[in-house]
Amino acid sequence: MDNFRFYVPTDIRFGKDRLATELTDVLNVYGKNVLLVYGGGSIKKNGLYDQVIDLFEKNQNTVVELSGVEPNPRVETVRQGIELCRENQVDVILAVGGGSTIDCAKVVAAGFYSDKDVWDLVLEKGYGGKALPLVTVLTLAATGSEMNAGAVISNLTTNQKLGMGGPSMIPKVSFLDPQNTFTVPKNQTAAGSADILSHLFENYFRQTTGTDVQDFVSEGLMRTVIKNCPIAIETPNDYDARANLMWASSLALNGLTGSGKGGTWSCHAMEHELSAFYDITHGVGLAILTPRWMNYVLSDQTVDKFAQFAKDVWGITEEDKMKAAKQGIQATYDFFKSCGIPMTLPEVGINEDKFVEMATQAVAHSTIKTDAYVPLAESDVEAIYRECLTESIFV
């Protein structure tokens, strides 16, 4: 196990119907001028927007809105948010939405205090400065952004989708009410679950050994998602299924499963290029890539971990390690497919035209060539993309 620091001071308010009695008290700690950040308007359909505005009125807040945050939030939107905060002397940001909305709000919060253009801030990756306080109301179980200090921003003019983060950007308080995810459609429930699983997989398959706490906890969270995602798809208002997905999303990426392990992530680096070039849903890209990546890096060197994964997560009893490993990869693929996720790139409008360019970018924007679980050169990434052109069978 490597040395690590674990410091996650987000105050999680989990459960039913807490906003009415807690939200304004939480915001009042920081001030009355609020920037309200949200996405495409689903919160106007399900009543959450009206509830929040009503609470603001009773609490005599001054509110400005940054709406229409994109599924892959764009730097132009972030710039607009920073302007709004400066023009209106905003004291605190309230993000109501999923990971995209929260990520956008985080970078607005940091950019507010910086003289630089915010894209330069993104390019620097690590942020050590101050940020406006951020409170979130989560509406989608997926990215874990509600309980960590990172954010991903896209720049479609340069075809770049890049991560940045810093301690001041972690939300002060996050409200996690599973009921706010009842209206999430089946395909987004599936894509969000694939995102959670991918965070767990990326942390699980790393080179550091002696990390039983992280790995066994991760297996437990994987089993949680595998059990509850199909229930939430079948019965969208199953409270416990939604609650388990929501809490798993936060714990999958708050340091619990990744701290103490070195090396970089592989599938996220490859997926970010798909999203950057084609603007596809992040979780779908991850679901398509992951089983092909697993199969590509499976070898005598990695078979023990994949066999452990097959046994502990999928309950596979096959004793031959290589066979068990392949069955585990097949189970992963079949699970995503059973959730209704399109499992080839052509199904989401991607063909081989830009494979070389995207592979080059995936390596350039990350360290997968040197310190991934299994290091990947441009040709490896291209080969993995190519495996995603048609349906796959691994056993």
Shortest distance (Å) from residue 208 CB to a second copy: 10
Alpha-carbon distance of 358 to 60, in angstroms, equals 49
Shortest distance (Å) from residue 316 CB to a second copy: 13
Alpha-carbon distance of 45 to 284, in angstroms, equals 25
Shortest distance (Å) from residue 216 CB to a second copy: 3
Residue with smaller CB distance to a second copy, 162 or 324: 324
Residue with smaller CB distance to a second copy, 223 or 323: 223
Q: What is the DSSP string of 78-103?
A: HHHHHHHHHHTT--EEEEEESHHHHH
Q: Which two tokens stand for residue 186?
A: 């089946």
Angle (deg, nearest 10), helices 48-58 and 19-28? 50
Shortest distance (Å) from residue 137 CB to a second copy: 15
Question: Shortest CA distance to 74 belongs to which of 98, 45, 103?
Answer: 103
Burial class for 278, CB neighbours closer than 10 Å (0-12, 13-18, 19+): middle
Shortest distance (Å) from residue 115 CB to a second copy: 28
Cβ neighbours, 10 Å, residue 52? 22
> H-helix or E-strand containing 161?
strand 160-165
Q: Which two tokens stand for residue 202?
A: 């990326």
CA trace torsion 174, 101, 8, 84 (10° rounding): -90
Q: Which residues bind a second copy (CB under 8 A)?
A: 1-16, 18, 178, 209-213, 215-221, 223-224, 227-228, 239-240, 243-244, 247-248, 251, 256, 259-260
Burial class for 46, CB neighbours closer than 10 Å (0-12, 13-18, 19+): middle
Shortest distance (Å) from residue 196 CB to a second copy: 11
Alpha-carbon distance of 65 to 109, in angstroms, equals 14
Shortest distance (Å) from residue 242 CB to a second copy: 10
Q: Which two tokens stand for residue 139?
A: 């509406």
Sign of CA dihedral 229, 231, 236, 238: negative
Residue with smaller CB distance to a second copy, 8 or 53: 8
Shortest distance (Å) from residue 61 CB to a second copy: 23
Residue with smaller CB distance to a second copy, 70 or 238: 238
